[in-house]
Amino acid sequence: MLGDALIVLLAAMIAVRGWLGAGLFGDKSPYRVNLMLDRHPAILLGCLGWFMCSLILVSRRHHLYGPLQMRNTLHEQRLTIQSCMTAGLLLAGALYVIRGEIVSRGVVLLTILVSTVLLCARRLIWRMRMYRRFDRGLETRNVLIVGAGRVGQALRQHMESIRHLGYTFKGFIVIPGEDPDRQESLAETLGTIEDLLDVARKHFVDEIFLSAPCEPSLVKSIVNRAREAGIDIRVIPELYDGLAWNTAVEYVGQFPTIPLHRGETPVVGLFLKRVLDLALSAVALITLAPVIAGIALAIRADSPGPIFYLSDRIGKKGRVFRCIKFRTMVADAEGRRAEILHMNERDGVLFKVSNDPRVTGVGRWLRKYSLDELPQFVNVLRGDMSMVGPRPPIASEVKRYELQHLRRLDVMPGITGLWQVQARQDPSFDSYISLDTAYIKNWSIWLDLKILIRTLAVVAAGTGS
């Protein structure tokens, strides 16, 4: 929506300069002065705002802000043109009602035409970018298919053959009395209906497709359980005649589907969170550049080995990424870990030693004030991490998680979090998990801001170890 609003503003500037010879923020000549902006700024800005709002509302009505999977390229382009023309007609109607003769008709027409061209180009570029991310396995939706029969097999092959749909097939769920059609289907069967939610949690499933006919009571039970878990549910309409008859059919590639439940995503909040991440991490890296350079020189002078420590961590939905930190231990620290396992001060799957003999002199000071984590601002810029969220675990920890512990991997990991500012010295793994779960359940952009403010006090106090 913000992108569309900026496109309309750019189109208006192009139209005014192209038609009148003066931009909205450009120089004016005595001959072709912009009378609209000088004498009637409220009318001009009001019309521009009305056109923006109309375009966004009509585009939303056409589901242009929904998932890419629900429309192909040509359909999206047609809907974009239709939205621009509809918003243009609403603008023309508004000008007629308010008797806005002062507004140049040429500027109005040029704004509508330029907006249409730029919006079509913007959506095409965005689609191509998302296709590349889908090919790399990023931002795809994990899918379970209930039913391993003919329809389920066809749906699975369709998803895997068209990668730009953005779906990642995780496996089949068999229903009572069903035998998988082929041997490979048996190998990809992850469980039965009774195991549905446990399997969905284990594989970070976003969407469940019902590809085999089930009893109405069973379908209702699945939908209710999926709603509690925040998982979307779809059915193949020809298998469920009369079910959700008033719901629009949505196509997944060539497959018609009917959504029975769609979880609500806090899009505005997540957008603001990402803007906050980009702004704070960029400002931090620029502002603290001299400090980062000084730390790098101190590490190099203190002990032999690399300046940075790169560790594979588990991020959102179990995705592995390379986490960047300043090296605070001797170069062969991993090889010496077995020697100090008996010194572990944390319970459960956590590992922490206050007086770890592997920590260097500079490293101990960096840990005290959490300065070893400054390079993780780069991870935030890359989209691997957020400023606030559960700390990213290592693979050996995740392997020991119980099913309910995987909840903390539903969101982006963070540099700081509720546990860091509230119970950093608490050795209890249960406390660690409960605070992360509480953060996920009660998340808001205001909670992130409160945690960031409290983090400054914690870092200043030097409570790290």
CB 289 within 8 A of CB 258: no
- For the full predicted model, state whether its pTM sits above 0.85: no
**Gap between the terminal Cα atoms of the chain:** 44
CB 216 within 8 A of CB 236: no
pLDDT at 240: 58
H-helix segments, 32-178: 35-39, 41-61, 73-98, 105-135, 150-161
DSSP letter assigned to residue 392: P
pLDDT at 25: 46
- For residue 405, the tally of other CB atoms under 10 A from its CB is 20
**Which tens digits make up the pLDDT trace of 271-281?**
899 999 999 99
Calpha distance 138→193 (Å, rounded)? 28
Residue 400: is its pLDDT beyond 70?
A: yes
Calpha distance 451→416 (Å, rounded)? 8
pLDDT at 180: 59
Which one, of 186, 176, 192, 190, lies nearest residue 153 by Cα?
186
Which one, of 313, 351, 359, 369, lies nearest residue 333 by Cα?
359
**Which tens digits make up the pLDDT trace of 141-199?**
899 998 888 888 888 888 888 777 888 899 898 887 666 555 556 678 888 888 888 88
CB 357 within 8 A of CB 343: no
pLDDT band of 21, cuts 50, 70, 90: low
pLDDT at 462: 64
pLDDT band of 448, cuts 50, 70, 90: very high
pLDDT at 377: 95
Stronger pLDDT, 268 or 113, i.e. the higher one: 113
**Cα dihedral 388, 391, 395, 400 in deg (nearest 10):** -120
pLDDT band of 346, cuts 50, 70, 90: low
Q: What is the sign of the dihedral through the CA atoms of 72, 75, 81 and 83? A: negative
pLDDT at 123: 93
Query: For a pLDDT cut of 90, what percent of the chain falls above it?
Result: 23
Neighbouring C-alpha atoms within 13 Å toward the C-beta of 438: 11
pLDDT at 345: 58
The rounded mean pLDDT for the chain is: 81
Calpha distance 379→387 (Å, rounded)? 10
Stronger pLDDT, 375 or 70, i.e. the higher one: 375
**Which tens digits make up the pLDDT trace of 283-292?**
999 999 999 9
H-helix segments, 400-465: 418-422, 429-441, 445-461
pLDDT at 280: 94
Calpha distance 117→125 (Å, rounded)? 12
Mean pLDDT of the 439-461 span: 88
pLDDT at 288: 92
Calpha distance 267→445 (Å, rounded)? 12
**Which tens digits make up the pLDDT trace of 214-251?**
777 778 888 888 887 788 888 887 665 555 556 677 77
Query: For a pLDDT cut of 70, what percent of the chain falls above it?
Result: 83
Q: Domains of the chain (ranges plus CATH)? A: 2-135 (no CATH), 141-263 (3.40.50.720), 268-461 (no CATH)
Mean pLDDT of the 260-282 span: 86
Q: Residue 342 phi/psi, 5° resolution? A: -70, -10
Stronger pLDDT, 67 or 184, i.e. the higher one: 67
